[in-house]
């Protein structure tokens, strides 16, 4: 596991020299702000397992990371929880190329990459409402993100949004969208990570998302629900 994180760091640094993957490149900072921040998911593990009636360490849960970029948070999660069946989705082909190399080089199994926009893939029946968990970090405001992420989650599953101290405001703005899309806020787990406040917002899928959502690519961002 430690060797996999080290290899991941080396690849990130190497590929970042010829493409834009991250502004953070110093080893300790990458470990803190990308690897450990991604793994802060464990702070809400107990709450999530209760909602899912599952064991995240052992069960083969399906997890999708929407707007994964250089693989955060899902690649660190896959390293630590190898039973998870992971999909990494991103709109940028170059980042997908990087992730394919990470998967190959780290010898990860039960993980796939998908190049495209969330709005397009969430309408595809292979992906729609088939995931136990959908995670996103630093992709969009919660009102927009709900329309990207909730369609992937099956009823009874969870959408987990990584946020910072502004999450209270974001939650208010997203109330209507969550209701329309079949989501309900179950919990907000707040903690401090190296002095910065971090929030994990747990949204349970309580009803199917109406077929007309997500709207066509670009619309959720232009006209949030
Ligand atoms: N989640 C990563 C992290 O925390 O480091 C990457 C964050 S980066 C700021 C946002 C990523 O979301 C980009 O890689 C971008 O291509 C992707 N993205 C934004 N909107 C998207 C959409 N509608 N569908 C798929 N990917 C999207």
Q: Mean per-residue pLDDT for 214-222?
A: 95
Query: Across all residues in the chain, what is the average pLDDT?
Result: 96
The CB of 137 under 6 Å from ligand 1? The reply is yes
Pick the CATH number of 2-222 from 3.40.640.10, 3.20.20.140, 3.40.50.150, 3.30.750.24: 3.40.50.150
What's the token pair of residue 58?
A: 């052992």
Residue whose CA is at the smallest distance from ligand 1 atom 12: 67
Question: Which pTM does this prediction carry?
Answer: 0.97
Q: Is 148 helix (H, G, I), strand (E, B) or coil?
A: helix
> Tens digit of pLDDT for each residue in 179-193?
999 999 999 999 999
pLDDT digits (tens, 9 = 90+) for 55-106: 999 999 999 999 999 999 999 999 999 999 999 999 999 999 999 999 999 9
The beta strands (E) that lie in 91-165 are given as 111-115, 131-137, 153-163
Question: Residue 142 C-alpha to ligand 1 middle, in angstroms?
Answer: 13
Does any ligand 1 atom lie closer than 6 A to the CB of residue 37?
A: no
**Whether residue 155 has pLDDT greater than 80:** yes
- Report the separation in Å between the CA atom of 197 and the middle of ligand 1, taken as the mean of its atom positions: 21
The structural domains of the chain, with segments of one domain joined by +, span: 2-222
Long-range contacts from 181-188, C-beta under 8 angstroms, 24+ separation: 181/146, 181/147, 181/150, 181/151, 181/209, 181/210, 181/213, 181/225, 182/150, 182/155, 182/206, 182/207, 182/208, 182/209, 182/210, 183/146, 183/150, 183/153, 183/159, 186/47, 186/51, 186/158, 187/44, 187/47
Predicted confidence band of residue 207 (pLDDT cuts 50, 70, 90): very high
């Amino acid at each position: 596991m430690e060797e996999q994180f080290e290899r991941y760091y080396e690849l990130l640094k190497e590929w970042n020299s010829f493409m834009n993957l991250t502004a953070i490149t110093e080893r300790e900072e990458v470990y803190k702000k990308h690897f450990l921040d991604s793994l802060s998911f464990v702070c809400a593990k107990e709450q999530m397992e209760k909602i899912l009636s599952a064991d995240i360490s052992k069960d083969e849960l399906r997890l999708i990371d929407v707007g994964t970029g250089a693989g955060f948070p899902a690649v660190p999660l896959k390293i630590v929880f190898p039973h998870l069946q992971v999909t990494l989705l991103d709109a940028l082909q170059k980042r997908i190329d990087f992730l394919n190399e990470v998967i190959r080089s780290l010898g990860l199994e039960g993980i796939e990459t998908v190049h495209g926009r969330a709005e397009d893939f969430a309408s595809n029946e292979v992906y729609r409402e088939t995931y136990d968990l959908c995670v996103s970090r630093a992709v969009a405001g919660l009102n927009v993100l709900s329309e990207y992420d909730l369609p992937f989650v099956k009823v009874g599953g969870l959408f987990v949004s990584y946020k910072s101290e502004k999450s209270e405001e974001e939650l208010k703005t997203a109330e209507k969208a969550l209701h329309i899309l079949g989501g309900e806020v179950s919990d907000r787990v707040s903690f401090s990570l190296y002095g910065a406040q971090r929030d994990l917002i747990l949204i349970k899928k309580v009803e199917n998302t109406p077929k007309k959502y997500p709207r066509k690519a670009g619309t959720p961002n232009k006209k949030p629900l």
